[in-house]
Chains A and B, each alone.
Chain A
Amino acid sequence: MVPRRKGQGHHRLMPHRTFVWLCLLPLAAVTAAFFLLPMARLVVTGAEGPRGLAGYLAILVEPRYRATLNNTVLLAAASTLVTLIVATIAGMFLQRHRFPGRAVLIAMLTFPLAFPGVVVGFMIILLAGRQGLIGDVSNRLFGEKFVFAYSIYGLFLGYLYFSIPRVILTIMAAVQKLDKGLEEAARSLGASPWAVQRDVVLPALAPAFVASGAIAFATAMGAFGTAFTLATNIDVLPMLIYTEFTLAANFATSAALSVGLGIITWFILALARSFSGSAVAAAG
């Protein structure tokens, strides 16, 4: 077909314009009333505490908050890294080989895809809680119950649980799009399998790593349900915001902290978008 010159808004229908604005109205009203206005109010609330606007810097200045922030960032980063490694090995394997039961294996790896954080927390409790499987097995083998669900290690495992399905899917899609010709060319030039991975495949997957890694990181940063289910005293930012709000009634602090958290996650996702080109979401 002869390609048309497609301009933005070039070929617009005339009286149609009113209808188009009308179409946008309900959404605009809902967004303004229930998102923009509240977010603005939140930002204002964050500055209403005893420290005023400086309350916003508290996240970086106060040692206690800074410790929480460090914890959260480290945990999110570590879980993202491990997720990427695990998902790449498994994802590449699944995408590149066909064998009976492959579909079932993929289903097993992706079924937790939209699980809420609470359920993931429960899964971790079943694995590593007081009555968990790991505790049982370790008891039988070593005589000591290995329980770690209610700590930062349990949370780490929880982050793995809900990140792996998402990242595996992204990696698999990216692997599918890889040009096999490039790998064959490298091999024809004498590269060993490891060299091919290192010099051709992994660099080609880099955008997918960045994009899905950013999502995993942002989701881990903002994850509340999982931490809440595991224990209310795990020291991560969402839990801090929660306790400041409900237990200490520090509205200003919790508002400032959550605005700060929102900015951090938005920034990371914006970065991811510039690498992958499509809007991405944090949920969990």
Chain B
Amino acid sequence: MRDRLIFTGQLVFTLLVAAFLVVPAALSIMAGVTVNYFRGIQSGVTLQWVAQVWELYADTILLSFLIAFATLGVTLAAGVPAAFALHVQGGRLSRVVEEIITLPLAIPGLAIALALLSTYGGFSDFRRSWLFILVGHVVFTMPFMVRSVMAVFSTLDIRTLDEGAASLGASPWRRFRDVIVPNAVPGILAGSLMVVTLSLGEFNLTWMLHTPLTKTLPIGLADSYASMRLEVASAYTLIFFVMIIPLLVAMQIFADKERAR
């Protein structure tokens, strides 16, 4: 009897916590598609707010995607070979390098942004382009890609595979192409999902680095929360949810599949 009470108590508690997290999100989704938030669903369902958001903020959405995929490209090109090098090298030097590379994770985005501004703020062309934001995103997301790929390498004895290919005559570049990368694909995929998700949602860095002409989606969101009516802000948030939640789900499914392997 007492067990059932405890169970029910915990269940209710957990449901309350879940409600705390879910209710505002549900409200937001609802507000984004109802004609009038205060009158609720009776006022009718509409996509006018979504359309308005698109009119006002389409460029932010597109820029966010551009930056996210550009960030992905850079982290792949620089991160995958580096993960291989760090894994194969081993030893104290590579651990130190790993530490340095993961430093951006420990430092608040604000600080990194200020650092970038103080160093490159003077190069006005660079400062005003979206490349400036790209740089910030790359610095922030790179550790995730590197760690994700290194994690795969450590479960795979990639060193012996590399030696095996070398014993068959393959040059280092050939081995990288034929053996290393194909076998790192799970880590590359997981890392890619992570990088794109983080880049799409990045705010702390981007807010400091942006200009009125280089606004990303989260910047637009902040703008709309401050100045637009609730329905528009909610519709904008809804668009963000639609973009980000499939990615989160994909990451979770991927992680579960990897754990089950």
Q: Tell me the A residues contacting B by CB distance below 8 Å.
A: 8-9, 11-13, 15-16, 18-24, 26-28, 30-31, 34-39, 41-42, 45, 86, 89-90, 93-94, 97, 105, 108-119, 121-127, 131, 133, 160-161, 164-165, 218, 221-225, 228-229, 238, 241-242, 245, 251, 254-255, 258-259, 261-262, 265-266, 269-270, 279-284
Give the interface centre of B14, B74, B120, B147 by most chain A CB atoms within 10 Å: B14
Q: List 23 A-B contacts (CB under 8 A).
A: A8-B90, A13-B172, A19-B172, A30-B78, A30-B139, A41-B119, A42-B119, A105-B18, A111-B25, A112-B21, A112-B25, A118-B218, A118-B221, A119-B218, A122-B28, A127-B20, A131-B38, A131-B230, A133-B27, A241-B110, A254-B114, A266-B103, A280-B105
Q: Tell me the B residues contacting A by CB distance below 8 Å.
A: 7, 10-11, 13-15, 17-18, 20-25, 27-28, 31, 37-38, 74, 77-79, 81-82, 84-86, 88-92, 97-98, 100-112, 114-116, 118-120, 135, 138-139, 142-144, 146-147, 159, 162-163, 166, 172-173, 176, 197-198, 201-204, 207-208, 218, 221-222, 225-226, 230, 233, 237, 240, 244-245, 248, 252
Knowing A9-B89, A119-B221, A133-B23 touch, does A255 contact B106 (C-beta < 8 A)?
Answer: no
**Among A112, A161, A224, which residue has its beta carbon within 8 angstroms of that of B207?**
A224
Q: Name the residue on B nearest A20 (C-beta).
A: B85
Q: Name the residue on A nearest B204 (C-beta).
A: A224
Residues of B near A265 (CB, < 8 A) are 106-108
Residues of B near A218 (CB, < 8 A) are 106
Residues of B near A125 (CB, < 8 A) are 225
| B106 CB, nearest partner CB in chain A, Å | 4
Residues of A near B82 (CB, < 8 A) are 23-24, 26-28
Chain A facing B: main interface SS: helix
Residues of B near A93 (CB, < 8 A) are 10-11, 13-14
On whether the beta carbons of B111 and A90 are closer than 8 Å, the reply is no
On whether the beta carbons of B105 and A281 are closer than 8 Å, the reply is yes
- A-B CB proximity, top 9 nearest: A222-B108, A19-B172, A38-B115, A23-B81, A27-B82, A281-B105, A258-B111, A23-B85, A123-B24
**Among A9, A30, A42, A251, which residue has its beta carbon within 8 angstroms of that of B90?**
A9
Knowing A21-B85, A24-B85 touch, does A164 contact B21 (C-beta < 8 A)?
Answer: yes
Give the interface centre of A97, A118, A222, A238 by most chain B CB atoms within 10 Å: A118
Q: 13 new A-B pairs (CB below 8 Å) besides A27-B101, A282-B106?
A: A21-B85, A35-B112, A89-B13, A105-B14, A111-B245, A114-B244, A122-B24, A122-B225, A221-B108, A225-B222, A238-B110, A241-B110, A266-B103
On whether the beta carbons of A30 and B163 are closer than 8 Å, the reply is no
On whether the beta carbons of A281 and B108 are closer than 8 Å, the reply is no
| B138 CB, nearest partner CB in chain A, Å | 6
On whether the beta carbons of A39 and B105 are closer than 8 Å, the reply is no
Residues of A near B20 (CB, < 8 A) are 127, 160-161
Residues of A near B103 (CB, < 8 A) are 35, 266
Knowing A27-B79, A30-B142 touch, does A38 contact B17 (C-beta < 8 A)?
Answer: no
On whether the beta carbons of B244 and A122 are closer than 8 Å, the reply is no
Report the bound CA distance from A109 to B16 in whole Å: 10
Report the bound CA distance from A87 to B39 in whole Å: 35
Residues of A near B225 (CB, < 8 A) are 118, 121-122, 125, 229
Knowing A89-B10, A114-B197, A118-B222 touch, does A109 contact B24 (C-beta < 8 A)?
Answer: no
On whether the beta carbons of B115 and A39 are closer than 8 Å, the reply is yes
Residues of A near B28 (CB, < 8 A) are 122-123, 126
Report the bound CA distance from A241 to B143 in whole Å: 25
On whether the beta carbons of B107 and A34 are closer than 8 Å, the reply is no
Report the bound CA distance from A259 to B159 in whole Å: 39
On whether the beta carbons of A224 and B23 are closer than 8 Å, the reply is no
Report the bound CA distance from A242 to B114 in whole Å: 10
Residues of B near A122 (CB, < 8 A) are 24, 28, 221, 225, 233, 237
On whether the beta carbons of B116 and A27 are closer than 8 Å, the reply is no
Q: Name the residue on A nearest B236 (C-beta).
A: A122
| A55 CB, nearest partner CB in chain B, Å | 14
Residues of A near B202 (CB, < 8 A) are 116
Give the interface centre of A19, A112, A218, A284 by most chain B CB atoms within 10 Å: A19
| A183 CB, nearest partner CB in chain B, Å | 15
Residues of A near B237 (CB, < 8 A) are 119, 122
**Among A36, A42, A282, which residue has its beta carbon within 8 angstroms of that of B105?**
A282
Report the bound CA distance from A255 to B207 in whole Å: 16
Report the bound CA distance from A79 to B249 in whole Å: 27
On whether the beta carbons of B107 and A266 are closer than 8 Å, the reply is yes
Residues of B near A34 (CB, < 8 A) are 116, 135, 138-139
**Among A11, A113, A133, A254, which residue has its beta carbon within 8 angstroms of that of B24?**
A133
| A283 CB, nearest partner CB in chain B, Å | 7
Residues of A near B146 (CB, < 8 A) are 27
Q: Name the residue on A nearest B2 (C-beta).
A: A193
Residues of B near A36 (CB, < 8 A) are 100
